[in-house]
Amino acid sequence: MTRWRIDLAYDGSDFAGWAAQPGQRSVQGVLQQWLSRLLGTATMTNEQGNFPAQLVVAGRTDAGVHARGQVAHLDIPATVIFTPDELAFRLTKVLPADIVIHAISVAPPHFDARFAASWRRYSYQIWDDTALPDPLLRRQVCAIPGRLDLDAMHAASAALLGLRDFAPFCKQRVGATTIRELQIFDVVRAADPSRTITATLQADAFCHSMVRSLMGAIVQVGLGKRDLTWLLGVRDLPSRAGSVPVLPPQGLTLQEVGYPADSELATRVAAARSARTLPCNTTTDHKETTDAVAEQQQTQHLNTTDHKETTDAVAEQP
């Protein structure tokens, strides 16, 4: 058996997610259907017997979620006569327009699209009431009623960085850990007329609904409906927080998946498969973050007071 790496992109608007589901149009289902046809059989053979042509993917995206830099792998029997480039060419000719194959290549030893990944990077795009929406992008952006305060969203996103248990922001799956390291959480507004807000989130892995829940939380802060004290309280809950909204899927795109050097793949796979625990200094880190947020809120209060005093003084001038 030879493992092949598949780099691909798709518009998730008309898919019921990545995972194959009976009676549903899925990215995995469409790809496996055509792979089986092109490889000449609905099953392939290994030492254990026959099995379906199963793809393993880096990120199992939900219904309506897009991918620009998805990665999958497939184990190919020696009887297949296609080269990776030939298979990529044939797939390009038969796949629907909303799935694009970027490349197919022979994977290095110990490569695993899911467990060897060092990080995944997603983006989430938003239009608020100050935006001039581009109708050509309407299926990739989420419209939020109200005006978003990016400074407040920056403070909120910074409070969520680091290694922690993200259970409050995840839909729990039996036997799955919710400990993750959120490495990047940045929010910017485009300078063009669309004024599109783009959030970039990068972590070693994401659990189910994590990105859209994190976005829902900082949007609440950005709209002024919640504050940082609320967010810190939610962040440290032991289980799913019902007060955190999950934003719609269309604004979310898997942009890129990162892998270590070939010589480090086996180590990364072993680490990803092992049980995760939090370090002992988590409580200290929480206290430092809480103190920093309290200091920031005090500064904001003082700035507001100074602004009011200045405004009153100006009002008293003739």
Query: For 180-198, what is each residue's pLDDT tens digit?
Result: 999 999 999 999 999 999 9
- pLDDT of 45 strictly over 50: no
Give the pLDDT score at 132: 95
Give the pLDDT score at 36: 87
CA–CA separation, 168 and 172 (whole Å): 9
- For the segment 114-142, what is each residue's pLDDT rounded down to a tens digit? 999 999 999 999 999 999 999 999 999 99
Give the pLDDT score at 79: 82
Give the pLDDT score at 300: 47
Give the pLDDT score at 93: 96
The model's confidence at residue 275, banded by pLDDT at 50, 70 and 90, is confident
- pLDDT of 34 strictly over 90: yes
Is 236 among the residues known to form the active site? Answer: no
- pLDDT of 298 strictly over 70: no
Residues 95-100 have a mean pLDDT of 98
Residues 234-252 have a mean pLDDT of 94
For the entire predicted model, the pTM comes to: 0.85
Residues 153-164 have a mean pLDDT of 97
Strand partners, 46: 49
Give the pLDDT score at 81: 84
The model's confidence at residue 291, banded by pLDDT at 50, 70 and 90, is low
CB 246 within 8 A of CB 64: no
CA–CA separation, 258 and 197 (whole Å): 24
Give the pLDDT score at 85: 96
Q: Would the CA dihedral through 10, 14, 16, 20 be positive or negative? A: negative
Residues 215-241 have a mean pLDDT of 96
With a pLDDT cut of 90, the percent of the chain lying above it is: 73
Q: Would the CA dihedral through 213, 216, 221, 226 be positive or negative? A: negative
Q: Would the CA dihedral through 178, 184, 189, 192 be positive or negative? A: negative
With a pLDDT cut of 70, the percent of the chain lying above it is: 84
> What is the full DSSP assignment across the chain?
-EEEEEEEEE-GGGSS-SS--TTS--HHHHHHHHHHHHTTSSEEEETTEEEE---EES----TT-EEEEEEEEEEE-TT----HHHHHHHHHHHS-TTEEEEEEEEPPTT--TTTT-SEEEEEEEEE-TT----GGGTTT-EE-SS---HHHHHHHHHTT-EEEE-GGGS---TT---EEEEEEEEEEE-SSTT--EEEEEEES---TTHHHHHHHHHHHHHTTSS-HHHHHHHHT-SS--TTSPPPPGGGEEEEEEE---GGGHHHHHHHHHSPP---TTHHHHHHHHHHHHHHHHHHHHHHHHHHHHHHHHHHH--
**Average pLDDT score, the chain:** 87
CA–CA separation, 196 and 128 (whole Å): 8
> In order of start, what are the domains of the chain with their CATH numbers?
2-106 (3.30.70.580), 119-261+272-296 (3.30.70.660)
- For the segment 208-224, what is each residue's pLDDT rounded down to a tens digit? 999 999 999 999 999 99
Which position has the higher pLDDT, 173 or 292?
A: 173
- For the segment 49-95, what is each residue's pLDDT rounded down to a tens digit? 444 568 999 999 999 999 999 999 999 887 888 899 999 999 999 99
Give the pLDDT score at 53: 63
Which of 100-114, 206-220, 242-256, 291-305 is predicted with the least confidence, judged by mean pLDDT? 291-305
In total, the chain counts a number of residues equal to: 318
Residues 20-38 have a mean pLDDT of 93
Catalytic-labelled residue, pool 7, 62, 128, 204: 62
The model's confidence at residue 279, banded by pLDDT at 50, 70 and 90, is confident
- For the segment 252-269, what is each residue's pLDDT rounded down to a tens digit? 999 999 999 999 999 999
